[in-house]
Amino acid sequence: MRGAGDRPASICYDPDMAHRLELAAKGLAIERVATGGFVAIAPGRAIRALTTPRYDTGAARYAARLLGIRQVVLGVMLWQARNDRAWLRRVATLNALTEALDAAATLASVGKRREGRPSAAPAIAALATSAAFLALRAAAS
């Protein structure tokens, strides 16, 4: 039994799915590079957007730059893996794990902070992003 063209018919082969998978990987990669680039280039603005101005210290800017560079690297890896399903699964797993660990670190810091009431919103956003990468990983299987 033959499908479109010379390819054998298969319930696993879906050219539209391959296109959607590539688009999803591209979109997530662009988001990673754009947000990471912004944080690496303008850490003070990123810190003030997420916290109060009093948290804008030299150490916070340094950490923000490191996280921004990490985001850019993960985005470039994702962009390069967009057409190779095996590599895309690995890179999506790495991205999901990174986001899950970010969420855990955020929740740990929320529990330890005494002054003011910090928000758990960044942890929730990280978990949602982790779920998106897990969905991308599952789609690439």
- pLDDT confidence of 14, banded at 50, 70, 90? low
CB 118, CB 110: distance < 8 Å: yes
Reply yes or no on whether the pLDDT at 1 is more than 50. no
Entry pTM: 0.78
Domains of the chain by residue range: 16-140
pLDDT of residue 9: 47
Burial letters 72-98, b for 16+ CB under 10 A, else e: bebbebbbebbeeeeebbebbebbbeb
pLDDT of residue 10: 46
Q: How far apart are the first and last CA of the chain?
A: 24
Per-residue pLDDT reduced to its tens digit, 67-112: 999 999 999 999 999 999 999 999 999 999 999 999 998 888 876 6
